[in-house]
Structure 1
Amino acid sequence: MAAHTYTIARQFAQDLNLQEVRDFLKRQPLGGYGCTRTGFAYPEDNPLVWIKFGEGSDIIPEARTHRYAFRMLQQVPEEQRRNIYIPEIYRCIAHLQRAYIVMEYVRGRTVAEVRAESPLAVRALAGGQRNLDMLDRAIKLLLSLPVPEDALPGPYGGGLIRHPMFPASRSPWYYRSINEMENHFNQTLVEGHMADRVPKIMLERELHLVPGDLHDTNFMFTEAGNLYIIDFGQTCFLPLSLMTFAMRTPCKWIAGMLQGKLKDFPLPEKNQISLEQVSCVFGPY
């Protein structure tokens, strides 16, 4: 996007009338499988922004984390982040129980959209292996971003963890430390009568910015060959074992294509059997 277009989009976001947006939403059809849509391009005829919306308790922590990742990525040397981008958030609006993230509109296609075009979708991404390498690099970039000294397990600024190992991808409570999380997981194994069947969980003592949801709608390629990470709903500061878990989550095409691994970035394996059992005791995600 040209610099003047960014300027226009930023100003448009600041001048945005929330009531007009809400009226627009009321006129929209449901999304796939009859589900309510969670985002849309606006204005409809000539989009300048993408608006994501939902429960404020989910959207506001996501916006904080998204902004943090955007800011930290700008500080990574350009040669290391070449072709990897995060959309800029122009504005976050809270209204009653809902919140709206108004962000940069990216003209491109999600991995899911590319896959839907062809039965040969595995290689339909222009560039083939190059784009799989870019996905691998994007995930590693997030994992390598600096973590605030006072960060707790969860989104930037605090909150419930969003991650596929929890029911409805939401932790049952706030964890004040890695120790507290580890103790809760091990106690869950005891309560689920699994503690004598699987190893005790021993989480890593460092946090990383973990993209827990590797769904192929969360990554977008542009015609220029750039990759955008466009969703941070389940991106939280977590021990690396939870990245390993996310890479093994069923039905996630990206994780499957990367074969559950990251190049030159070993992910811990020791807790996986036990974490899978904890997730089963928690209930379906």
Structure 2
Amino acid sequence: MTWLGELEPPIDLEFEGIAPPEGVDLPKGDKLLSLCERGNPRGFIEYPAESPVFFIKHGLAVYWNEVLAQDMAYRELRKLGSSVRVPGIFYACRTMQRAVIVMEYIQGKTVEQLLEECKDDEAEAERVRGIVVHCLNDLIRIPVAAGSRPAAIDGGRIRHDVFDCRVASRHYENVNQLEEHINYFLNIAKRKPLVKDLEREPMIFLQEDWFPANFMRDADGRPVAIDFSETSILPSSFAKFLLWDNRFGITIRGRVDIPVTEGVDNTMALLHISGLINMGARSFSEFGYRVAGGDRETQVRMNESIRTAASNAVDAEAGTSTVASIGSSST
């Protein structure tokens, strides 16, 4: 396997998920990599082509976080008895340059496609938007382990629209450090309100990529959530922040049941900091190293802990798919 004269880097991480259907050959390792075009930011393969059983997602912009987040959603929704489907992951692997995920192939149409088909039928469009609401309500119900810190599901930096390029500039050992970082910038910019009592908010499983193409109705009419790359464990105001968006043509605010703590709401502060980060992402990043946990020693230690945890959290039968508690601190 070569690309532009270079050898394919070796596989450094593998994930074994659910068992494939009996009698079906599941491509793995080097065989799987050979099916996927190198240099592609994000590619998709229906396999086998004549009668797809697997959907293969691959590329430079496919992240390991998606593997663990999607597996967690698949397993936890089944435990909850949810009618929302999530494609099960059969196998995934990663090299230094790219990741490849082999998941269930699901027949159906995306919400984006369905909305286009019913653009002149508002009643049907409302039913289609209900698919997204149903998925979000059930995903938010996924239980989060006590002591989890704000982080991506793989333990990496938070992935959320609040931050520049949807990725936090540093790791946080706990919610208090995240609050301190945000308030540092808000104070310098003389913007109110500040974030307050963020640690009192419920921590939730938040798939924050609420685009119509990331939700489906399958051939049996069931709602399906299909993209988990931008998923983190976060205080609930980060979900309320997303409800101010309008990606579906109308607001879905008030239709998603987000858990809250009475008297605590940091949505407006997050809206303010998001705007400030858009104008001064570099400053926000630099300020992060001036507050608790931002020192080089702590950040390096957390990076090392996350890498170690990732190599150990690849057995889907272990009963847990998140390493977001790695590096947590209560102080």
TM-score when scaled to structure 2?
0.69
Q: Would you say the 8 A contact 1:162–1:236 is kept in 2?
A: yes
Q: Would you say the 8 A contact 1:220–1:229 is kept in 2?
A: yes
User: Letter of the aligned partner of 1:17 in structure 2?
Assistant: K
Q: CA deviation at 1:15?
A: 7.6
Q: CA deviation at 1:183?
A: 0.9
1:244 is aligned to 240
Give SS of 2:57's match: strand
Higher relative contact order (CA 8 A, sep 6+): 2
Alignment partner of 1:70 is 2:74 = yes
User: Letter of the aligned partner of 2:153 in structure 1?
Assistant: Y
Q: CA deviation at 1:194?
A: 3.0
User: Letter of the aligned partner of 2:58 in structure 1?
Assistant: F
CA 1:134–1:216 in 2, change beyond 3 Å: closer, same or farther? closer
User: Letter of the aligned partner of 1:198 in structure 2?
Assistant: P
Of the three residues 39, 43, 61, the one matched with 2:44 is 39
Alignment partner of 1:6 is 2:21 = yes
User: Letter of the aligned partner of 2:48 in structure 1?
Assistant: P
Of the three residues 170, 173, 181, the one matched with 2:170 is 173
Q: CA deviation at 1:6?
A: 3.4
2:134 is aligned to 137
Q: CA deviation at 1:263?
A: 5.1
Give SS of 2:152's match: coil
Q: What is the distance in 1 between the residues matched to 2:116 and 2:245?
A: 21
CA 1:19–1:60 in 2, change beyond 3 Å: closer, same or farther? closer
Q: Would you say the 8 A contact 1:160–1:170 is kept in 2?
A: yes
* Pairs within 5 Å for 1:23-38: 23=37, 36-38=41-43
Q: CA deviation at 1:235?
A: 1.6
User: Letter of the aligned partner of 1:21 in structure 2?
Assistant: L
Larger deviation, residues 274-283 vs 235-244: 274-283
Q: Would you say the 8 A contact 2:108–2:219 is kept in 1?
A: yes
User: Letter of the aligned partner of 1:92 in structure 2?
Assistant: A
Q: What is the distance in 1 between the residues matched to 2:73 and 2:222?
A: 17
Q: CA deviation at 1:87?
A: 0.5
Unmatched 5+ stretches in structure 2: 1-18, 282-331
4+ residue stretches of structure 1 with deviation over 6 A?
none
Q: CA deviation at 1:5?
A: 7.9
Alignment partner of 1:278 is 2:273 = yes
Q: CA RMSD in A?
A: 2.9
Q: Which has the larger radius of gyration?
A: 2
Q: CA deviation at 1:119?
A: 3.0
CA 1:160–1:7 in 2, change beyond 3 Å: closer, same or farther? farther
Unmatched 5+ stretches in structure 1: 31-35
Give SS of 2:36's match: helix
Q: Would you say the 8 A contact 2:20–2:26 is kept in 1?
A: no
Of the three residues 229, 251, 271, the one matched with 2:225 is 229
1:94 is aligned to 94
Q: CA deviation at 1:38?
A: 4.2
User: Letter of the aligned partner of 1:236 in structure 2?
Assistant: S
1:51 is aligned to 56
Q: CA deviation at 1:75?
A: 0.9
Q: CA deviation at 1:199?
A: 3.9
CA 1:99–1:19 in 2, change beyond 3 Å: closer, same or farther? closer
Q: Would you say the 8 A contact 2:87–2:105 is kept in 1?
A: yes
CA 1:210–1:264 in 2, change beyond 3 Å: closer, same or farther? closer
Provide, for residues 193-232 of structure 1, a one-character-per-residue CA deviation record: whole Å limited to 9, x for no partner: 133x434443244311012111011101113111111011
TM-score when scaled to structure 1?
0.79
CA 1:279–1:264 in 2, change beyond 3 Å: closer, same or farther? closer
